[in-house]
Amino acid sequence: MSEWLASIGVELNIIPHLVAMLVAYVLALPIAWDRERNERSAGLRTFPLVAIAACGFIQATETVTVGNAEATARIVEGIINGVGFIGGGAILVGKLGTRGTATAASIWATGAIGTAVGLGAYDTAIVLSIVTFLTLRVMASFKSAKAEPDKGE
C-alpha cells in the first residue's frame, strides 16, 4: 500500500505525529486524573482528547502553514476559540453560584498543551502540564481550608 501511495505522491511519515500525539496525551493525563478523581464534568476521556485534537489540528495543517506565521496564528486562534467553547460547556450557573470554571480553565490549558506539542514547543507543554496540575492540586487545599467554618481559634 505504501508503494501505491508513493506512486501518487503521498508520503506517510506517521511516527513523528504518533510521538507528538502520545506526548500530548501523556501530558494531559495528570490533569484528567485530577478532574476525574474529583468527579468533575470532564475527566479521563475529555482532557487527552482535547490535547491530541489540538495537536492534530496543528500537525494536520503544517504542510500548508509552513513558513507562514499568519496562517499558523489563524489555526491557533481557531483552536483557542474551539477549546474555549468546549470549556464553556463545563461551566454551570445556578442559584447557589457558578461551578466548573476550574474544569473549563483546565480544558483550555489542555488545549494549549496539545497546541504547544503540535508546534514542537515541548518545553512549554511540559511546563503547562505541571503548572496546571499543581494549581489544581495545591489550590484545592486552600479552597477547602477557606470553606471550613471558623472555629473561633
For the segment 75-108, what is each residue's pLDDT rounded down to a tens digit? 999 999 999 998 888 888 888 888 888 889 999 9
C-alpha to C-alpha distance for 41 and 99, rounded to whole angstroms: 10
C-alpha to C-alpha distance for 76 and 54, rounded to whole angstroms: 9
Record the cell numbers describing residue 2, joined without a space.
505504501
How big is the chain by its Cα radius of gyration, in Å? 19
pLDDT class of 152 with cuts at 50, 70, 90: very low
- Please return the burial class of 56, using the count of CB atoms within 10 Å of its CB with bins 0-12, 13-18 and 19+: middle
One DSSP character per residue, the chain reads -HHHHHHTT----HHHHHHHHHHHHHHHHHHHHHHHHTT-SS-TTHHHHHHHHHHHHHHHTHHHHTT-HHHHHHHHHHHHHHHHHHHHTT-EEETTEEE-HHHHHHHHHHHHHHHHHHTT-HHHHHHHHHHHHHHHHHHHHHHHHHHSPP---
Q: Which residue has the higher pLDDT, 150 or 3?
A: 3
Q: Which residue has the higher pLDDT, 18 or 40?
A: 18
Alpha-carbon dihedral sign for residues 33, 37, 38, 43 = positive
pLDDT score at 1: 65
Confirm if 51 and 114 have CB atoms less than 8 A apart. Answer: yes
pLDDT score at 101: 87
